[in-house]
C-alpha cells in the first residue's frame, strides 16, 4: 500500500509518497491528520528541514519581510543567552508597534540564531539573527528599532519554488542546532493523507522517469479544480521505505518520493 501525504502551504504544495507498513492502519478515504512537530531540536534532520520550509510558506507571503540583524562592537553579546535576550526585547518592541497599527491582525515571526559565516565555510563569526516577520510596518521603522547594530529589512521574494532559497539559507545558518524559534500563532502545516490516491504502477513509472512532467502533473491534478505545476521531483533511497514485490521480507526498491508543485497563478 502506498501512502501519500499532501501538504498545501499557500500557493505551494508537497506530496510525500512512501510504502505503508503492513502494521499501519489503512485509511479508507483521504483525511487531514495532525502530526507531532519534528523539531526545532535538529535541523539536520530531513523532516525538520521540510517542516521549517513548510512553516515559512504556510505563514508568510507577499508583503511580509525578511530581516537580517547583526551586533556592533558596543552591543556584542558575550553568550548565546545574552543574544536571545536581546532579540526577545526587540520582538516585544515590534509587537507593541504592530498592535498599535494593526490591533485586529496577528503578528507572526520566526527567527534563526547563528554564529557562523553565510558562505558555507562553517567559520565562526559574530552572533547574528535572520528573521521573517509579518509585513505592514515601515521598513525604516523596523530597522531603526534594532538598537544593537545593523538591521536590514526587505520584502520576501517569491519564485516558482517559493522562498525555498531563504529557507535553506536560514537552515544552514542554524547549523543543525536548536537555534530557531517562532511566534506561538504560527500555523503548523498538516497533511491530507490518502492510501488510495497512487498505485504501485504510478510509483514505478515515476521511478523510471522522474522527468516525465506531463504524467506527474496529470497525477497530482487528478480530481482537482485548481491547477498545479510541477517544480521538483526528488527520489531518495531508504531501506525503511520500500516499494517492491516483497515488502514483508524487506526485499524490493527502497525509495521514497517527494513531489513539489506550485499553483498556476503563483505570481498573481
* 251 in Cβ contact with 239 (< 8 Å): no
Model confidence band, residue 237 (pLDDT cutoffs 50, 70, 90): confident
The CA distance from 187 to 206, in Å, is 32
Positive or negative torsion for Cα 64, 119, 39, 239:
positive
* SS3 assignment, position 149: coil
What is the pTM (predicted TM-score) of this model?
0.85
- pLDDT at position 71 is 96
Cα–Cα distance list, 257 to 18, 27, 233, 236 (Å): 7, 20, 7, 6
- pLDDT at position 5 is 92
Cα–Cα distance list, 144 to 115, 138, 227 (Å): 23, 10, 42
Domain boundaries, the chain: 2-35+190-263, 58-182
Query: Can you tell me which residue has the cell 526545532?
Result: 40
Model confidence band, residue 244 (pLDDT cutoffs 50, 70, 90): very low
**Span 37-53, average pLDDT:** 67
Query: Percent of the chain having pLDDT more than 90?
Result: 57
Res. 246: pLDDT tops 50: no
Model confidence band, residue 55 (pLDDT cutoffs 50, 70, 90): very high
113-164 pLDDT, tens digit each: 988 777 767 777 889 999 999 999 999 999 999 999 999 999 999 999 999 9
Q: What is the mean pLDDT of the chain?
A: 85
Model confidence band, residue 45 (pLDDT cutoffs 50, 70, 90): low
CATH architecture of 58-182: 2-Layer Sandwich (3.30)
Query: Percent of the chain having pLDDT more than 70?
Result: 85
Residues constituting the chain: 268
State the virtual CA torsion across 85, 86, 89, 91 in degrees, nearest 10. -100
- Residue 175: CB partners within 8 Å, gap ≥ 6? 43, 114, 116, 122
Query: Can you tell me which residue has the cell 483525511?
Result: 31
- pLDDT at position 249 is 40
Model confidence band, residue 178 (pLDDT cutoffs 50, 70, 90): low
Amino acid at each position: 500500500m502506498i501512502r501519500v501525504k499532501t501538504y498545501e502551504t499557500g500557493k505551494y504544495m508537497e506530496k510525500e509518497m512512501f510504502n505503508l507498513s503492513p502494521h499501519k492502519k489503512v485509511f479508507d478515504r483521504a483525511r487531514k491528520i495532525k502530526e507531532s512537530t519534528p523539531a526545532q531540536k535538529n535541523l539536520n534532520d530531513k523532516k525538520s528541514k521540510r517542516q521549517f520550509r513548510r512553516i515559512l510558506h504556510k505563514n508568510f507571503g507577499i508583503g511580509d519581510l525578511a530581516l537580517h540583524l547583526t551586533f556592533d562592537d558596543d552591543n556584542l553579546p558575550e553568550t548565546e543567552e545574552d543574544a536571545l535576550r536581546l532579540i526577545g526585547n526587540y520582538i516585544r518592541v515590534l509587537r507593541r508597534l504592530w498592535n498599535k497599527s494593526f490591533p485586529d491582525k496577528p503578528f507572526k515571526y520566526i527567527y534563526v540564531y547563528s554564529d557562523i559565516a553565510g558562505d558555507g565555510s562553517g567559520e565562526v563569526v559574530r552572533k547574528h539573527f535572520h528573521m521573517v516577520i509579518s509585513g505592514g510596518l515601515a521598513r525604516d521603522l523596523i530597522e531603526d528599532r534594532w538598537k544593537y547594530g545593523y538591521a536590514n529589512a526587505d520584502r520576501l521574494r517569491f519564485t516558482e519554488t517559493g522562498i525555498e532559497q531563504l529557507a535553506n539559507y536560514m537552515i544552514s545558518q542554524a547549523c543543525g542546532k536548536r537555534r530557531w524559534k517562532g511566534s506561538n500563532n504560527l500555523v503548523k502545516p498538516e497533511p491530507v493523507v490518502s492510501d488510495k490516491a497512487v498505485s504501485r504502477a504510478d510509483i514505478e513509472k515515476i521511478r523510471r522517469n522522474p522527468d516525465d512532467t506531463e504524467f506527474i502533473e496529470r497525477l497530482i491534478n487528478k480530481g482537482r479544480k485548481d491547477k498545479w505545476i510541477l517544480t521538483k521531483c526528488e527520489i531518495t533511497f531508504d531501506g525503511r521505505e520500500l516499494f517492491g514485490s516483497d515488502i514483508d521480507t524487506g526485499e524490493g526498491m527502497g525509495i521514497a518520493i517527494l513531489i513539489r508543485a506550485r499553483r498556476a497563478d503563483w505570481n498573481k
